[in-house]
Structure 1
C-alpha cells in the first residue's frame, strides 16, 4: 500500500509507462482516507455540524486552506495515474478527455480504468501466438 502511494508521488509527472489495477486502487483508498481526515478536522474545527455561531474561527480557515492545497497538489498526479492506468488496460491515453463530458464522461473513464491488465503482443512473435483472434 505504501509503495503504491510513494510511487504515486514519485511519478507525479510520469505519463509514460503503466500502473496496475492494485496501484490505482491503493492510491484511491489513500486519497479517500486523507480526504476523510481533512473533513473530520474541518467539522471539529468548525465546532460540529450544527454549529450556528457567526464567530470567525481561524482553525477552520487553516483546515480549508490545507484541504485546498491537497486538492491542488493531487490534480496532476491523478491525471498521470489515470493515463498510465488506461495504457495498462489497453486503451489509448486520449480517452482521459472523456472526463470533460459532464456526468457520464468521468463514469466511463472510471469503468475503463477497472479493466484488467492487457498483455502486449511481442513484435518478435511472428505467429502472434498470444492473440486469440482468427
Structure 2
C-alpha cells in the first residue's frame, strides 16, 4: 500500500469506525496529514502573516490558520476513524484512543500500539486487513454463513 492508496482508503471510509486498518494505511495517512498540514501552515503564514513576538524574534505561527483549520475540520473524523480501526487491528477497543488526552504518557502508549503489528487472522473486530477484507464488523456475512440459522 502506498500513500495515495492509504489516503484514498481512509477517505472512502470517512466515518467508518468498524473493521480494522493495517499499519501501512494508518502511517501513510499520518504522513500525508503532517505534510499537507505543514504546507498549508506555510501558505497561511504567507497569505495571512506571522506572529512576531519582538523585533528580533520570529514565529512561523500565523494568527489566522484558515487553510490549515479547514483541513483539520475536514480530516479530524477520518483521522479518528483510522485510529480506531488501527486499534481494532491490535484487538483493542477504539475507546483506548482517549489515552491521547493524557499528556506524554498517553501519546507514547498510543504510538507503540499503532506501531505494533495487528492480530493475524480474524479478531473480534473483523477480518485481517492484510488477508481478508478488514472493512466489515465482527458480525459480518462470514459469521452469518457459518451459523445454522437459515439466511432470509
Q: TM-score, normalised by structure 2?
A: 0.64
Hey, what does 1:31 align to over in structure 2?
A: 33
Of stretches 76-85 and 36-45 in structure 1, the one that deviates more from structure 2 is: 36-45
Does residue 84 of the first structure (1) align with residue 75 of the second (2)? no
Counterparts of 2:16 and 2:49 in 1: how far apart (Å)?
41
* Equivalent runs, 1:1-134 vs 2, <5 Å: 1-46=3-48, 64-120=65-121
2-structure distance, mates of 1:101, 1:73: 24
What displacement does 1:93 show?
Answer: 2.2
CA gap of 1:41–1:105, structure 2 versus 1, over 3 A, is same
Structure 2, unmatched stretches of 5+, are 55-61, 124-152
**Whole-angstrom CA distance in 2 between matches of 1:21 and 1:32:** 16
Aligned residues: 115
Output one character per residue of 1:81-106: Cα deviation in whole Å (capped at 9) or x when no partner. 11100111222222112122223212
The CA deviation string for residues 98-119 of structure 1, in whole angstroms up to 9 with x for no partner, is: 1222232122112111101211
Partners of 1:90 and 1:97 lie apart in 2 by: 16
Pair 47,64 (structure 1): closer, same or farther in 2 beyond 3 Å: closer
- CA distance, structure 2, for counterparts of residue 71 and residue 121 of structure 1: 33
- What TM-score, normalized by structure 1, do the two folds share? 0.72
Equivalent position SS for 1:113: helix
Per the alignment, residue 138 of structure 2 pairs with none
Alignment RMSD: 2.7
Alignment-derived partner of residue 145 in structure 2? none
- Structure with greater proportional helix content: 1
For structure 1, the 5+ residue unaligned runs are 53-59, 123-134
Moved more, 9-18 or 85-94: 85-94
